[in-house]
Amino acid sequence: MADSCDILVSGGGVAGLMAAATFGAAGFHVICVDPTAPVTDREDAAADLRTTAILQPARSLLEEAGIWERLAPHAAALRIMRIIDAGGAEPVARVTKDFNSADLSDQPFGWNLPNWLLRRELLARLRDLPNVEFRPGLATTGLLARTDHAFVSLNDGSRVKARLVVACDGRNSAMRAAAGINVTTRRYGQKALAFAVTHTVPHDNISTEIHRSGGPFTLVPLPDHAGQPSSAVVWMERGARAQDLQAMDVPAFEAAMNRRSCGVLGPLQLASRRSLWPIISQSAQQLNGPRLALMAEATHVVPPIGAQGLNMSLGDLRCLLDLAHATPDRLGDADMLKAYHRARHGDIQMRVKGIDLLNRTSMLAPRPLRDLRALGLNALYSMAPVRRNLMQMGLGVK
Ligand SMILES: Cc1cc2nc3c(=O)[nH]c(=O)nc-3n(C[C@H](O)[C@H](O)[C@H](O)COP(=O)(O)OP(=O)(O)OC[C@H]3O[C@@H](n4cnc5c(N)ncnc54)[C@H](O)[C@@H]3O)c2cc1C
């Protein structure tokens, strides 16, 4: 006999755990499976040391799901997004532009949280929800859709019967493959180093993105660490250079990162391990299959620029939740899933293309093109309506 539920969530990464908590809080019976148990301790060698800036429009969804109240005490607010062009002969800031959240509302752009902590708090929330079962150690392997439900096969030989399957199983999604949905992928030959630093100059809730070549170097505010101001860093470089940087001893690495950061927060000191992430851009051609909705990295992967990745996933989740609420008796049927595809696909395509362009612009090595980039930043910034539009688009409210 197969276990049965309303919604089977394939994948318990940050997106999958958020989906399980959100649908669970809305009253659906949810089963969520993942082959690996989430790591919830910063000091664990397998901890995900990236951080996620949760943008302000996603907050209401997290509040409804009872997640926000757990996250708020650990979150660092992001009030200003500072973009610096340092593409001249020497790595110094030559153009600095501030995008201020106060120009839009009294709310910050968003709040930054470590991924390992997000997993810890999401698991705690799931434990409060009797209608959600999280089953680590299990992977989905097959999908058989019927008129009213789907059977999902698991790697222990069992099956789960669900009205809706939500694929949150990452960029190589097993459920996407089972439904035969194709993806378009762009590779940049680029990797991101993610780590934490402490610094002498307070960050003042400013997130700073520095462009030179190879990709952006981004400092995102964190709460103080060991009594000192602290930030999360994502440093994107061509693959070979990123690997060299990861292999360097700490003094050599600190010298390299201080040169690259242009001293904007004073001397930076490494405060964590360095983890390396491959950078690609990918989008699925369809967001829906029979009884199946793709969301998060199963449907879109973007370079980490402008905090779009997980925030697009929360946009997917908001849309699925609204559709499930509107017609609960039609959960997972073809009309609901077509409506999901129609509502999300255009926005996802636009963001994947836009971030791809920003990333390629940031990677530029030839000086004349870097000079053109600096001119472009100046020109865009000087037009107040354009500046405001860019901020609203970044937040996903336009
Ligand atoms: C360096 C870096 C920095 C980033 N910073 C930001 C940011 O500031 N803001 C932001 O919004 N986004 C950011 N992102 C993007 C964000 O981290 C991702 O969108 C998010 O972590 C991906 O989550 P996910 O749950 O979709 O995928 P994953 O984290 O890949 O999770 C997929 C899960 O599915 C599981 N799985 C795989 N196969 C199966 C199977 N067959 N059955 C069941 N489970 C399976 C895996 O074990 C895994 O746990 C960043 C990305 C990078 C690389």
Residue 50 lies in a domain: no
Average pLDDT of the residues in 247-273:
96
Cβ atoms < 10 Å from Cβ of 367: 12
Q: Can you give the CATH number for the domain in which 312 is found?
A: 3.50.50.60
- Are 343 and 244 members of one domain? no
Answer yes or no: is 225 within a domain: yes
Distance 11 CA to ligand 1 centre (A): 9
- Tell whether 47 is covered by a domain: no
Residues 125 and 19 in one domain: yes
Question: Residue 180 has which token pair?
Answer: 């035969």
Question: Domain total for the chain?
Answer: 2
CB atoms near residue 169 (< 10 Å)? 27
- Per the structure, the complete domain to which residue 132 belongs is given by 3-40+117-185+282-358
Q: Is the CB of 309 under 6 A from ligand 1?
A: yes
Residues 6+ apart with CB under 8 A from 384: none
Does 323 score more than 90 pLDDT? yes
Question: How many A from CA of 95 to the centre of ligand 1?
Answer: 33
In a domain, 94, yes or no: yes
Measured distance CA(167)–CA(12) in Å, rounded: 10
- DSSP of 84-148, one letter per residue? EE--SSSSS--EEEEEEGGGT-SS-SEEEEEHHHHHHHHHHHHHT-TTEEEEET--EEEEEE-SS
Mean pLDDT on 219-224? 92
Q: DSSP label at 228?
A: E
Residue with tokens 């996407």: 176
Output phi, psi for 238, to 5 deg.
-60, 150
Residues 289 and 202 in one domain: no
Establish whether residue 174 lines the binding site of ligand 1, counting it when its CB lies within 6 angstroms of any ligand atom.
yes
130-181 pLDDT, tens digit per residue, is 999 999 999 999 999 998 999 999 999 999 999 999 999 999 999 999 999 9
Question: 213 C-alpha to center of ligand 1: Å?
Answer: 26
Here the CATH number for the domain that contains residue 273 is 3.30.9.10
Is residue 125 located within the same domain as residue 90?
no
Q: Average pLDDT, whole number, for the chain?
A: 93
Evaluate: CB of 209 within 6 angstroms of ligand 1: no
